[in-house]
Amino acid sequence: KTTVLNVAKFGKNVVANPTIGPDFVKIEVNNASLLIMEEGGRSRTRASRRIYYRGVSGLIFVLDATDRERINEVRDELLQLSKEEEFQNKPILIFANKQDLSNPMSSDEIQEKISLTTFNENVKWHLQPACAIQNEGLREGFQWLENSMAKKVDTITPVKETIDDLSTIKHRLMSLWNMGNFKTLWSKFF
């Protein structure tokens, strides 16, 4: 996920630490300015992420096309997201990443295994094969997302307001995180 963002933002992969909790990145892709919340794939905070859904214009989901062992988890996660009220009538871009590695799942195999055709009919999705590290498939995926979001421009919360809201939430969460008592409390639950 981080590689997709880094290549989209910088044109190349940048060495980064694993993502823990939500991280917000603003990137310019094609003709669109996107504010993206990145979350670690095995993050314990995924259950609390609903607070970030308000005002979203779309979703980018990155899956490892070589990881057949976790494909059922991916299916369950995508089906749950497709049922969320905030994603109704919003585009979901699914990058099937790591196409450069040996034996990746084909688009047809992924569609079958994660049951994309059984998604809520109010959710518009697109499966895009990609190799983020080689910048393959990213432009096409982001172009689809941009076009899909542009069709819904009349229902989008103004971007500046959304960025300000998310920035405020991030700073408040970081302030809480930096407090020693919160770290102790957090460790008891997670």
Which CATH superfamily does the domain covering 2-156 fall into?
A: P-loop containing nucleotide triphosphate hydrolases (3.40.50.300)
Cα–Cα distance list, 86 to 42, 92, 143, 155, 166 (Å)? 22, 12, 22, 12, 16
Query: How much is the pLDDT for 139?
Result: 87
Please identify every stretch of the chain with a pLDDT value under 70, giving residue numbers as ranges.
1-2, 5-23, 29, 32, 34, 37-52, 151-190
> pTM to 2 decimals?
0.69
Q: State phi, psi for 28 to the nearest 5 degrees.
A: -105, 120
Among candidates 137, 116, 115, which has minimal Cα distance to 128? 137
Query: How much is the pLDDT for 57?
Result: 83
Query: How much is the pLDDT for 186?
Result: 55
Instruction: Confirm if 24 and 172 have CB atoms less than 8 A apart.
Output: no
Query: How much is the pLDDT for 189?
Result: 55
Domain boundaries, the chain: 2-156
Name the DSSP class of 69: G
Query: How much is the pLDDT for 13?
Result: 65
Give tens-digit pLDDT for 18-70.
Answer: 655 566 777 776 776 767 766 665 545 455 566 667 777 888 888 999 999 99
Q: Percent helix, strand and coil across the chain, each rounded to 5? A: 50, 20, 30
Instruction: Confirm if 101 and 144 have CB atoms less than 8 A apart.
Output: no
